[in-house]
Amino acid sequence: MPVRPARRLHETAKLIREHADRIADDPSRAVAEARMIRRLAEDLDEELDYEIRQAERRGGLPRSKPKQAKAVVGYCIEQGRYGIALSEHRSSGAAPFRCPKPVYELIAEVINDAPESFRFNDVYEEVRTRTGEDVPDYQVRVTIRFLIHHGAIKHYKAKFINEQKRSFRRIAKDAWDNLQRQTEAGQIPA
């Protein structure tokens, strides 16, 4: 494994600039300062080589698979801070993650307009663009996990697949209504 250089890239670059400034301030020290700049430039080369080797090494290692959300106990419709919301309950007893109904509906609309195969970031960025504000990513994640649980979309590798022939907005609304009926009937997670 390569040995990390003593200084970081930005520190070496700062030292080079300081020595260059000294040349401008005192031209009689130009030769000594030029030697120091040369040594620092060699150090900078070593530091860059180290960072490149590290990046190549990181890129070559196989990535571990994401952990399954085994902690999810279930979903229900609850009153949240911002009105009625989809709630995802976890086995840890932590407070549930919630996605307000307007955000849920917007996510369904974005998925409806998305290509058949899409990534999380595509949906998240489009939701942020359409709302014009910073939406917490967990709201999008909760909705997508719920829609996977409901069978409306599938997850394959790093992509989500919408194979539905009907309007996705309608499917998402049906999933919400079904969950709301279950919640009202008392079939909520423990």
Residues 23-37 have pLDDT tens digits of: 888 888 888 888 888
Q: Which two tokens stand for residue 13?
A: 């670059």
pLDDT at 155 over 50: yes
Q: Supply the pTM of this predicted model.
A: 0.61
Domain assignments of the chain as residue spans, ordered by start: 9-60, 72-184
Interval 119-137 mean pLDDT? 91
pLDDT band at 76 (very low <50, low <70, confident <90, very high): very high
**What's the rounded Cα separation, in Å, for the pair 88 and 92?**
12
One-letter amino acid of 140: V
Mean pLDDT is lowest, of 52-56, 113-117, 168-172, for 52-56
* Lowest-confidence segment of 3-17, 81-95, 125-139, 143-157 by average pLDDT: 3-17
Q: From 139, 141, 145, select the one nearest 73 (Cα to Cα).
A: 145
Long-range CB contacts (< 8 A, 24+ apart) of 68-71? 69/145
CB atoms closer than 10 angstroms to residue 13: 15
Q: What is the arithmetic mean of pLDDT over 79-104?
A: 88
CA-CA distance, 137 to 107, in Å (whole number)?
A: 11
Q: Strands of 117-118's sheet, edge to edge?
A: 117-118, 159-161, 154-156
Helix (H, G, I), strand (E, B) or coil at 16: helix
Q: Is the distance from CB of 98 to CB of 90 less than 8 angstroms?
A: no
Give percent of the chain above pLDDT 70.
88
Query: What was the pLDDT predicted at 189?
Result: 65
The CB-based long-range contact list for 3-6 (8 Å cut-off, 24+ gap) reads 3/50, 4/50, 5/43, 5/46, 5/47, 5/50
Report the candidate in 5, 3, 8, 13 with the shortest Cα–Cα distance to residue 40.
13
Is it the case that residue 142 has pLDDT exceeding 50? Answer: yes
Q: What is the CATH number of domain 72-184?
A: 1.10.10.10
